[in-house]
Amino acid sequence: MMGTTGRLLGLGVGPGDPELITLKTLRHLRAAPVVAYFAGPGRKGHALSTIESHLDASQQLLRLEYPLTTEAVSGPRSYDDIMVDFYDAAASRVAEHLATGHDVAVICEGDPMLYGSYMYLHDRLAARYPGEVVPGVCAMLAGAAMLGRPLVYRDQSLSVVAGTLPAPELAARLESAEAAVIMKLGRNLGKVRDVLLQLRRADQALYIEQATLPGQRMMPLMDVDPSSAPYFSMVLVPGRRWLT
């Protein structure tokens, strides 16, 4: 139909195991003429790796390459300024396809609405174009499943925090939480461990990296080399067992 715009589809592809995508994401993915994905410079992109076996040659790939690999920038422009420009430009590229009537499936590691780059496209485009967001299995629940440890019982609260926070803030947020997940570890792993030690929660904390992927590793937090952790890693502090 002339004049009809395409749909913006934010598709969660899950934590990494290609079998952990939903039937709905698979249906939208196979039908999309354009598949957009984020990737770091020189990287393939985790979301693309997860779903590429489901694509065929007729589908156009739209690569959205991050301008930076770290938040530590030198030069006159701030990290935020650089990223605003990047997401503005990425949204424009996606919008070009939408304007010509093509659906664009933006694939997202984990879930689209939880710490994902898709959110920055959504905030720029969802009010202007029709679309749909398909939730996905998020990394923290994949971690709990792989560790075989229930995360939150009954009326317990769960705190999801970024390891990039300063130690005092991390401690304040973790102190009151009956269960916790700490994302974005990287070079913050030692700090996270020290905070949990100080709170006397380190013994219950579990570490997992590359959950559901072939390179998956998991162990008690206290057994981990604290110097660094890869991007795809997290610490889980499960809630206290109930009814056993």
Give the N- to C-terminal CA distance of the chain in Å, as an integer: 61
Q: Of 180 and 225, which CB lies nearer to a second copy in the complex structure?
A: 180
By C-alpha distance, which of 226, 238, 150 is closest to 201?
A: 238
How many C-beta atoms surround the C-beta of residue 116 within 10 A? 21
Q: Say whether residue 114 binds a second copy (CB under 8 A).
A: yes
Q: Is residue 193 a contact residue for a second copy (CB under 8 A)?
A: no
Task: Give the residue, chosen from 74, 176, 223, 240, that forms a contact with a second copy under the rule CB under 8 A.
Answer: 176
* Side chain identity at residue 83, one-letter code: M
Of positions 1, 3, 4, 154, contacts a second copy by CB under 8 A = 154
Q: How far is the CB of 125 from a second copy (least distance, A)?
A: 11
If one asks whether residue 172 binds a second copy (CB under 8 A), the answer comes out as: yes
Residue of 93, 173, 201, 217 interacting with a second copy (CB under 8 A): 173
Nearest C-alpha neighbor of 109 from the set 179, 182, 41, 183 = 183
Is 9 a binding residue for a second copy by CB under 8 A? The answer is no
- Residue among 139, 116, 97 at smallest CA distance from 38: 116
Residue 103 engages a second copy in binding (rule: CB under 8 A): no
Smallest gap from Cβ 146 to a second copy, in A, equals 8
> Is 29 within 8 Å of 55 (Cβ atoms)?
yes
Task: Kindly list the distances between the CA atom of residue 93 and the CA atoms of 36, 64, 86, 120, in Å, as whole numbers in the listed order.
Answer: 10, 9, 11, 13
- CA 11/CA 191 separation, integer angstroms: 33
Residues of this chain that bind a second copy (CB under 8 A) = 10, 12, 14-15, 17-24, 26-27, 80, 83-84, 87, 111-116, 119-120, 122-124, 126, 133-138, 141-142, 144-146, 148-162, 164-165, 172-173, 176-177, 184, 241-244
